[in-house]
Structure 1
């Protein structure tokens, strides 16, 4: 591995067997000149951005952040990737490091804060929330401070955002809120209550999250579906169909989009399945 460019004393761009990588390490950039061998003993983290054209911007942004928060963010993200068994967008390290640098030094002022999405994140994104709580434990251990649970909700949102490459943080907020509203409509319409984390319901919650993401990112969906099959299902399952109609009205009136018939068809079938499961 050889140095290509020094960004600061702790961050360099290097060539690793023909691939450009961003290398982090305390003092790894000190007196590092282009072409010099990299002291691999100093490496604490290596980043391989998804697209080569992003490497320079990625490294420039990292170099502007306090190094201690970059390392903390990498530990939290690595933990999240392991627990979620998923690849996260590398930019989540930048987002979390920036967040940590702005909030952790002032945690005493935020101890009493409550997240408006607290319930939604716990129940609609249980895996991400569990990973974020482990991330919070890492922060507490590393910084020897009893940071409030509020911080875990912020970490969870960053994990969710990093799982959906097409979404940004405002979109992630919107997806969580819309999904929660739809769950509420189903419960109210069918006069039922259910555990969003249960084995029977969780597949529907995942389907719903993906559905909301799809339309939030691109409301103009082209595939309409089979009209005859749609009419048959709507007639056969009137309660689930009525619930679906209420959901579509909410989405249309509040967010300016509604699912096409093919997606409504699957929504009705999922609602019917949940309703039948509650009746057992």
Structure 2
């Protein structure tokens, strides 16, 4: 495999025999020598396809042991869930665990008031999250607070692949306009500037892309999350009000009504963005 760029000491950007870009990880694969150069397959411990430049930047800054751990456990978790996970699911998990470990090491604890609802609504994801927390302590010696289990479970929920709406072409400009309008609503409601180059923004943009496709196709997400939706609104009233404004925008601009399920997912994604702002 041809290594063309060093990301860090244990990760390099490569090009495989079919001309596809792939991130290869292994102990010391980034050490020594100029690029491009041939990388023996025997030195590669894990590969990641379909990682965009922003994802590559995130991987460059993540601890290699966390990324390798996430890759291993996500291979197992993926077989336990009744749906496909995003190609970036491992990177999402590594990013999440990296922050969780950093918080735990500093003694910072983030309460998850909806932990019971998460466990009841998403039992498979909660069980998988328990497994991840257990393996993290056993393999890396990092012990996370119990509240992190629910948070990791929601990370898995957010990483699931929503079946894309069939369409011959996506109206890119319309989507870009929708994304920018929604972010402007968030910035106005919370009086913040959203970092449009951040990994969290990329994750939210991906979620909004699927929402836009469903709006265009006249489809909607619906499930039995009514209690969780109600509790989330009660715990985060300002966030719920912001999503209400986004819902009004969708009705006025796209003649589409968001289901409670859609509003719930919007609140979860937006909460991750504003939580990084300390709000």
Given the alignment, which residue of 157, 164, 170 partners 2:154?
157
- Equivalent residues of 1:20, 1:48 under 8 A apart: yes
Q: Matched residues in 2 for 1:20 and 1:182: separation?
A: 40
Aligned runs of 1:1-280 on 2, under 5 Å? 1-18=1-18, 19-49=20-50, 55-107=52-104, 109=107, 114-164=111-161, 168=204, 179-181=225-227, 220=251
Shift of residue 182 of structure 1? Answer: 7.4
Q: Matched residues in 2 for 1:84 and 1:96: separation?
A: 15
- Equivalent residues of 2:117, 2:228 under 8 A apart: no
- Equivalent residues of 1:6, 1:33 under 8 A apart: no
Deviation string 1:72-95 (CA, Å, 9 cap, x unpaired) is 222232222121154322333333
Shift of residue 46 of structure 1? Answer: 0.3
Shift of residue 149 of structure 1? Answer: 2.2
3-state DSSP of counterpart to 1:119: helix
3-state DSSP of counterpart to 2:159: helix
Deviation string 1:15-73 (CA, Å, 9 cap, x unpaired) is 21122211111111112533422122221210011xxxx53332222001221222222
* Structure 1 vs Structure 2 CA RMSD: 3.8
- Equivalent residues of 2:27, 2:43 under 8 A apart: yes
Q: Residue 35 and residue 110 in structure 1: after superposition, are their counterparts in 2 closer, same or farther (change >3 A)?
A: closer
Q: Residue 15 and residue 184 in structure 1: after superposition, are their counterparts in 2 closer, same or farther (change >3 A)?
A: closer
Q: Matched residues in 1 for 2:35 and 2:142: separation?
A: 40
- Equivalent residues of 2:10, 2:27 under 8 A apart: yes
3-state DSSP of counterpart to 2:15: strand
Q: Which has the higher helix share?
A: 1
Structure-2 residue corresponding to 1:230? none
Deviation string 1:204-246 (CA, Å, 9 cap, x unpaired) is xxxxxxxxxxx97x9558799xxxxxxxxxxxxxxxxxxxxxx
Aligned length: 189
Give the number of the structure whose alpha-carbon radius of gyration is greater. 1
Q: Matched residues in 2 for 1:97 and 1:182: separation?
A: 26
TM-score between both structures, scaled by the size of structure 1 = 0.56
TM-score between both structures, scaled by the size of structure 2 = 0.56
- Structure 1: state its 5+ residue gaps: 186-214, 225-247, 256-280
